[in-house]
Amino acid sequence: MTPPSAADPGPALPLAGEPADWQPLPIRARALFLLGTMPSLALPGAVIGYLAGQVGGGLGFQSLVGFASLVPALIGSACGLLIGGGFGFWLGLKRYRYTFWRLDSEGLAVRRGRMWWRETRVPATRVQHLDLKRGPLQRRRQLATLVVHTAGTRHSAVEVVHLDLADAEHLRDRLARQIDHDDDD
């Protein structure tokens, strides 16, 4: 919807067999997906690696110098950090790569995932109100999160994270016009 800038190579290429009307997230969003998943998996990996190193260190390294049992724990911690961070990197890329959105005459649809595929449709007639959220990292990258509050009681809000700012504003305005049009009837 918005023309790509020179710094932004544009959206990711659609998947083979993916309908052309589904919009991918902008490439600028990829780093935020990575920041969202890497630390949350790297830190527990480091703790688990540290504990595994302590257990392994207690089995054979005590006879050396007094602090030698710390060496396997630190090595285990570093390995856990790398493994957890690597898995978080992979998962963040997959989450970014397989997130799409679509706005049509019936409402908004969000598609996430590949193996555990999930599509959420919000009919325009069920939209109650709309919010745009922008954190400091999103503002720096001209991104926004669109929150669509619905009339349902369970899962009554749908978030579309890291949308291009112009796309998020367009979606908000178009869905808001639909709300106003429905209120007039």
Condensed to tens digits (0 to 9), the pLDDT of residues 3-40 reads: 545 455 445 555 554 556 899 999 999 999 999 999 99
Q: How far is CA 65 from CA 3, 54, 60, 76, 96, in A?
A: 63, 15, 12, 19, 48
- Determine the average pLDDT of the residues in 164-169: 96
Q: Reply yes or no on whether the pLDDT at 97 is more than 90.
A: yes
pLDDT in tens, 110-161: 999 988 999 999 998 889 999 999 999 999 999 999 999 988 777 789 999 9
CATH numbers and ranges of domains, the chain: 30-95 (no CATH), 100-184 (2.30.29.30)
Residue 180 is predicted with a pLDDT of: 65
Model confidence band, residue 58 (pLDDT cutoffs 50, 70, 90): low
143 within 8 A of 163, measured Cβ to Cβ? yes
179 within 8 A of 185, measured Cβ to Cβ? no
Give the three-class secondary structure for 56: helix
